[in-house]
A and B are shown apart, each in its own frame.
Chain A
Amino acid sequence: MPTQDPKMQPEEQTTHGQPSVQEQPSAPEHSSIQTTHGVTFGQLVFRRFVRNKLAIAGFFALLIMILFCFVGTLLNPYREYEQFFDPDVSFSVQQLSEMKDLNLISEKIKVTPIKMGAVSSILGTAKEVAGEPIALTEVLKNPSSTETFRLYHTSFRLAQKNILLEKGFCTGEEIKLYNKMPITGQHLLGTDVDGFDVFTRLQYGGRVSLLVGLICMLFAVFLGAVLGGIAGYYGGFLDGAIMRIVDVINSIPVFPIIILFNSFMRFSKVGDQMKIYYLIIIIAALNWTGLARLVRGQILSLREQEFMLATETVGLRAGRRIFRHLLPNVMPQIIVNATLLVGGVILLESALSFLGLGVSPPYSTWGIMINRVNDPLVMIHCPYIWLPPGLCILLTIMAINFVGDGLRDAFDPKMKR
């Protein structure tokens, strides 16, 4: 996929006419290895994996990320599509005290005193001049003050907004979206251009990214393992046909094709939900080839080994031979590849969302959240809107790569250390 930014996959062999020395060494029969002291191959792999500091760090980072996205939302009072509001008026001390009594604002917030500046010669009205923010408690100590105050970085949820309107603190026109607001105790990562809470969106966006990666991987692994297995096991015409399809798909530029699909999906007004499903299928359909080739190669070399001859001599059925004797031996490679594939898919999905080609707002994914930088003001002044999702993508993919790499090393029988 040279059209993408150069992220080549050196582990993948280049093409069909490959010179023979680059053939992968045949896999030893991992699953059956059992040392005399009752240490199974699985335990050994586990030990080796655990010893790899980066892999363990990756594993925990991934775990935290999954918990953050799928369990963290339970602890979060805010919802995915919840917008926040901000009354664009100043309040008297009495109003502030009433609002506090109605639990609309907490006494911990700050307010800015408003003074009227000089009357503008052009507009004919006095311009408001905001002072330094002071604590609300300080203000309430002096109830007789005639000064007015504006709320300092305080947002209202929809229900609170309705009370504000009901009680006449402000009019509907004066209520504005609480958008592009910086980090406060109320909004741990501020709010974005639509008045959404960035932290909350991060959690829900992560769900989409992680799920798309996972489901795509499952599809691709299924396709790759089955088609690669069939090609390797039966050989002949089936092998030829499947491998030619693999050749064609491998030479198709992946990214442009997905963009193409997306722009047409946008045209035929496919709903966001459906769009994600289509996207998953397309990405999977374009990503199973590496795995198919790997499984085929492994099975070809395994088929030559004595233990497969033995299963044939014993008279096992083909299905049993494939699933009980061949697949377990290919499992390590499949697991490693599948892990790395998840990372690749998340990267692809986020790039599409970033380009505005995947799902569209108010749906949330990490890519869409970074997409906000298309507004230069957001890019320059509100890094809290786009930096966290970017770091989340980076962290997740890095964690997946660490885990995949650690698994590869742990499964490698030649592994020294």
Chain B
Amino acid sequence: MSEQAKTKNGKLDLRAIAKANRAEIKKYETAKKKHHASPSEYQTKMRDSNNLIEFDNLQTYFFTDIGTVKAVNGVSFDIPRGSTIAVVGESGCGKSVTSLSLMRLVQGPQGQIVGGSIRYQQSSGGQAIDLTKLPDEEIRKIRGKEIAMIFQEPMTSLNPVFRIGKQLGEAIHIHLPELSKEEVHKRTVALLEMVGIARAEGITKSYPHELSGGMRQRVMIAMALALDPQLIVADEPTTALDVTIQAQILDLLRELKDKINASIMLITHDLGVVAEMADYVVVMYAGRVIEQGTAEDIYDRPAHPYTIGLLGSIPVIGRKVEELYSIPGNVPNPIHMPDTCYFKERCERCVAACDGNYPDVVELSDTHKVWCYRDFSKR
């Protein structure tokens, strides 16, 4: 059903939306329920063998009561092996949904991956697979073991009724059932010590509510590291914490990153964090990637007006300004996006071409890409 058909006399036709949603959701849910997918259906080839993950035109939509929200609308970027890649953007720009799509944890039934692929290079066996087409049982074996995730809210992300030891040990046990109880426990304690928890033995017997937020986030990190994953997805790991704790957690992550040789996909809106951690930066806006490049590319030569605005809005110690810069306007309504540059309304550097369709990619260098109509040749 076209977007136009969903408005009647200039108002939303909620009935039509509800009807369309039902059909769409049913389609994707039935597809997911298929149990015995043959490996040929999800096996694929990586574009570049150095990459661990390749997002290719990923589309994740939410079918809500007032229309379809294209939370992730054609996102493509790579996560090279052993690197840290930061996904940056305002709240609601689709960065969290991108990571949840990778884990296949998008909240159904209204949230669905509707298109594109996420290619993943498995270390064992060496086969590349498309995570979006993987059957539930197979993705489960990857979650936690090969790709682990640290969530934003340490306060609510641990099960309140189980002891820390059980919650950590469970993660190990489920993927390594051959280990004995003692071995699992030993490993649990070792993990807790690795993330800098003193008295690790005692902590295993604690309940989550007995720990502080910083401690809980350390437990979450320990849980993520439990099985030496290839990729750790950290979804705003420090947002909910005190500033002093934030620094500690970031130090810990950086330290561990060197130790374990995993890739990290760091999702954040804090550009300070990005500067400290990331090798590559992906800037997202309203469900799309608008600029990507190495950390130097983004910090030294930001090209998209939005990125420039973001960087301008970080306070810098020692620089005196009248007023801290803020990008004018608001994030556009995610439901009825026009087919123009999404940032157009808020942009201070618009050119004539901006009235046209959504801009194509401009490759500024091998690593640096931007989606914008500005004339970059003169720079």
Contacts and interface: CB of A to CB of B under 8 A. Distances in A.
Do A and B share a direct contact in the complex (Cβ within 8 angstroms)?
yes
A43 B336 CA distance: 19
Contact of B336 (A37, A44, A48, A51): A37
A36 interface: yes
A194 B107 CA distance: 62
Given A37-B66, A37-B333, A47 B14 contact: yes
Interface in A47-104: 47-48, 51
Nearest to A417: B110
Contacts of A374: none
Contact of B12 (A39, A48, A51): A39
Given A38-B12, A39-B14, A48 B65 contact: yes
Interface in B274-301: none
Interface in B12-28: 12, 14-15, 18
B107 A416 contact: yes
Judged by DSSP, the binding face of B is loop
B272 interface: no
B18 A37 contact: no
Nearest to B7: A37
Interface string B29-67: 000000000000000000000000000000000000111
Contacts of B336: 37
Given A37-B336, A39-B66, A51-B18, A417 B109 contact: yes
> Among B14, B67, B335, which residue has the most Cβ atoms of chain A within 10 A?
B14
Contacts of B107: 416
B333 A47 contact: no
Contacts of A20: none
Contacts of B11: 37-38
A407 to B, nearest CB: 16
Contacts of A51: 18
A167 to B, nearest CB: 64
B334 to A, nearest CB: 10
A43 B14 contact: yes
A273 interface: no
Contacts of B18: 47, 51
A43 B11 CA distance: 12
Interface string B114-152: 000000000000000000000000000000000000000
B12 A37 contact: yes
B66 A44 contact: yes
> Among B12, B15, B65, which residue has the most Cβ atoms of chain A within 10 A?
B65
B333 A44 contact: no
Interface residues of B, number: 14
A142 interface: no
Contacts of A35: 66
A416 B110 contact: yes
A137 B15 CA distance: 57
Contacts of A36: 333
Nearest to B17: A47
Contacts of B109: 417
Contacts of A39: 12, 14, 65-66
Contacts of B12: 37-39
Contacts of A38: 11-12
A379 B12 CA distance: 56
B359 to A, nearest CB: 24
A43 B65 CA distance: 10
Interface in B312-354: 333, 335-336
A48 B12 CA distance: 15
A38 B66 CA distance: 10
A37 B65 contact: no
A47 B110 contact: no
Interface in A317-331: none
Nearest to A51: B18
A39 B333 CA distance: 13
Given A37-B12, A38-B11, A44 B110 contact: no
Contacts of B333: 36-37
Contacts of A416: 107, 110
Contacts of A47: 14-15, 18, 65
A11 B109 CA distance: 27
A348 B110 CA distance: 41
A39 B15 CA distance: 12
20 contacts: A36-B333, A37-B66, A37-B67, A37-B333, A37-B335, A38-B11, A39-B12, A39-B14, A39-B66, A43-B14, A44-B14, A47-B14, A47-B15, A47-B18, A47-B65, A48-B65, A51-B18, A416-B110, A417-B109, A417-B110
Interface of A: 35-39, 43-44, 47-48, 51, 416-417
Given A47-B15, A51-B18, A416-B107, 11 more contacts: A35-B66, A37-B66, A37-B333, A38-B12, A39-B14, A39-B66, A43-B14, A44-B65, A47-B14, A48-B65, A417-B109
Nearest 3 interchain pairs by C-beta? A47-B14, A36-B333, A39-B66
